Structure 1
Amino acid sequence: MIEIGLGCGMPYGPGASYPIWTTYFPNIQLNIVEFDEKCGSVWAANNPEAVIFFGDQSSVPFLHQVGAEVTADRLVDIIVDDGGHTMVQQTTSLRELWPYLRPGGVYFAEDLQTSFMDSYGGDGSRVNPSKDTFIRWIHELVDDMMSEPAGVPPKNAWSSEIASIDCMAELCVLTKKEEGAR
C-alpha cells in the first residue's frame, strides 16, 4: 500500500490512519509519501515498520522512484492520496502512480472539494473551463470509459485500464481492471 500524506500539520497529528491500516490489514506493507521531512522523521522513529519517502507528490521523478522501490517485487493493492490536495498534486499522483497499482487494485483520491477552491488551483466559480481541476479530469476519465465502446478514442490512453470510478462527497475511488477484463 502507498499512502500519500502522513498528516503532518493536521490538528489530529501525523499517522492518524496508521493504526486503522494495521488493524484491518495485519500483514500490510505500508509505504508513506510525506513532504514534511522533520515531522515525518519524528513519526518514523516511533514506527519503524512503516517505510516513509520524503518528497513532493507533484514531482514525476520522485513518484517514479517511490513506485519503483515499492513495487520491486510486486505491484501494490491500494493507493490512498490524502496529500497536498492541489490540482497538480492530485493529477500527477494518479497519472504517475497508476502503473504501480496491480490489476484489481484500488486508488482512493480524497478531499476532492479542493477542485472548487481557488487556493488549491481549483475553480471556485465552477465556470472557468481553462482551470484543469481534478474533478474535471475524473469526468474526462468517465467520458473515456463511456465513449470507448462507441468507437470514440479516449483522451487518456490508460483510461482503458479503469474498471470503475465511484465517487461520493469529497472522494473518488478508481478500480483497475483485472487482467483480460473488458
Structure 2
Amino acid sequence: MGFQLRKVRVQKWLQLSRERPTWADEFNPLVDWWDSHREGLLTVKHAHYFDIYHRHLQHFRGKKMHLLEIGVASGGSLQMWKAYFGPRLRVTGVDCCPFSGMRGELEDHRTSIWIGNQEDPQFWDELVQSVPPIDVVIDDGSHVGRMQLEAFQSLWPYLAPGGAYIVEDMMFAYMDMASMASKDSDFFKGHTHWVEKLKHLMDEMQTGFTADSRLKDSVASIRGIHTYRHLCVIEKYDRGQGLRGLVHDWDVLEVGAGVQAPALAEHHAPPPIMSHPD
C-alpha cells in the first residue's frame, strides 16, 4: 500500500492485495471501499482483517448500532466504519494521544471522541454511563497487555447482547524485546497477558465460571471465541441465551478402570441455552 502523508490526510494509489479465504464472500464492501477511497484520513489495517471483519460484522450493516473503537489515530478507520455500517451507525472513538484539533475535525452528530487512558477503570466507568449500549468494540489502541485487559474487563459486561469484541494486532505479544528499538523497555512486556487471558477465556466459556471477579457475572455470556492471525473476535450471546449454572462444584467420578475425570456434583441435565417463542 502506498501513501502520501499530508498531516493526517493521505492519497492512496495502490489497491489492496487481497488473498481471499475459502470461507469469504467474493464481494466484500470493506475491500471495495478501501480500493475506491482514494483520499482521506489515514488508516492502517492488515489486508486479511477485512474479510474477518465482514464475516463477523456484516449482520450489523444498515441497522441502528453503536461501535466503540479504541485507538483513533488520524481517524481514517472511523470514516471506513461509517461507510460500511451506514447512516444509522453511532461511533465512539477513544484515544490517549489526540492530534491537535482531533475532536473538532472528527466529531459530528453521530461521532464522539473521548480522550483518556485505556488502563484507567474510572475513565471506562464514566464512558459506559454516558454512551448508548455498545454493539461492537474494536481495540486497536496501545497493544499493551495490561491495558487491553483493563479495557476488556471494563467493557465486556456492558457489551450489548449479540455484540462482538475485537482485539487487533496480537502479534505484539510475541515480539522479541531484544529486537525492539524502543526507548521504553517495558512497552511490549505486557502483551503476553492478553494472549494468556484469551486462553483462560476459552476455558471459562465452556464452564460459564471465572476466577476474575470483575467478569464473574458476565463471562457465561461468551458465545464464541475466534482467533485469526494477529486478531481475535469474542462474540456475546443474544439476550436470554448463554450457559447458566451448568457447573456448580467439581468432583471426581470413576469412569473406567484406573481412569478419573471431573464430573458435576449434581448429575442432571443442564438447562437449555435456547428457547422457542410461545
TM range (shorter): 0.7 to 0.9
Higher relative contact order, structure no. (Cα contacts within 8 Å, ≥ 6 residues apart)? 1
Q: CA RMSD in A?
A: 1.7
What SS does the aligned partner of 2:76 have?
Answer: coil
Indicate conservation of the 8 Å contact 2:75/2:106, yes or no. no
Once residues 25 and 92 of structure 1 are traced to their aligned partners in structure 2, the CA distance between those partners, rounded to angstroms, is: 27
Runs of 4+ in 1 over 6 A off after TM superposition: none
Letter in 2 for 1:121: K
Unmatched 5+ residue regions in structure 1? 8-13, 124-131
Once residues 141 and 64 of structure 1 are traced to their aligned partners in structure 2, the CA distance between those partners, rounded to angstroms, is: 22
1:52 alignment counterpart: 113
What SS does the aligned partner of 1:64 have?
Answer: helix
Letter in 2 for 1:65: E
The structural deviation recorded for 1:133 is 1.2
Following superposition of structure 1 onto structure 2, how do residues 114-125 of structure 1 map, counting pairs within 5 Å?
114-117=172-175, 118=177, 119-122=187-190
Once residues 114 and 68 of structure 1 are traced to their aligned partners in structure 2, the CA distance between those partners, rounded to angstroms, is: 31
Once residues 48 and 164 of structure 1 are traced to their aligned partners in structure 2, the CA distance between those partners, rounded to angstroms, is: 33
Indicate conservation of the 8 Å contact 1:114/1:122, yes or no. no
- Return the match for 1:179 from 239, 248, 252: 239
- 1:36 and 2:97 are equivalent in the alignment: yes
- Return the match for 1:169 from 223, 229, 249: 229
Indicate conservation of the 8 Å contact 1:161/1:176, yes or no. yes
2:201 alignment counterpart: 141
Letter in 2 for 1:68: Q
What SS does the aligned partner of 2:129 have?
Answer: helix
Following superposition of structure 1 onto structure 2, how do residues 47-126 of structure 1 map, counting pairs within 5 Å?
47-49=106-108, 50-71=111-132, 75-117=133-175, 118=177, 119-122=187-190
Indicate conservation of the 8 Å contact 2:146/2:190, yes or no. no
Once residues 79 and 237 of structure 2 are traced to their aligned partners in structure 1, the CA distance between those partners, rounded to angstroms, is: 29
1:9-55, CA deviations, whole angstroms, 9 ceiling, x for partnerless residues?
xxxxx012122111112221110111013x0x523222231200101
Once residues 219 and 172 of structure 2 are traced to their aligned partners in structure 1, the CA distance between those partners, rounded to angstroms, is: 23
The structural deviation recorded for 1:116 is 2.1
Once residues 154 and 94 of structure 1 are traced to their aligned partners in structure 2, the CA distance between those partners, rounded to angstroms, is: 14
Give TM-score scaled by structure 2 length.
0.54
Once residues 145 and 190 of structure 2 are traced to their aligned partners in structure 1, the CA distance between those partners, rounded to angstroms, is: 7
Once residues 240 and 69 of structure 2 are traced to their aligned partners in structure 1, the CA distance between those partners, rounded to angstroms, is: 28
Once residues 154 and 69 of structure 1 are traced to their aligned partners in structure 2, the CA distance between those partners, rounded to angstroms, is: 28
Percent same amino acid at aligned positions?
28
Once residues 128 and 139 of structure 2 are traced to their aligned partners in structure 1, the CA distance between those partners, rounded to angstroms, is: 14
Larger radius of gyration: 2
What SS does the aligned partner of 1:29 have?
Answer: strand
Give TM-score scaled by structure 1 length.
0.81
- Return the match for 1:155 from 211, 221, 227: 211
Once residues 198 and 116 of structure 2 are traced to their aligned partners in structure 1, the CA distance between those partners, rounded to angstroms, is: 25
Unmatched 5+ residue regions in structure 2? 1-66, 178-186, 242-272, 274-278
Indicate conservation of the 8 Å contact 2:107/2:113, yes or no. no
Once residues 60 and 120 of structure 1 are traced to their aligned partners in structure 2, the CA distance between those partners, rounded to angstroms, is: 21
Letter in 2 for 1:110: E
Letter in 2 for 1:165: I
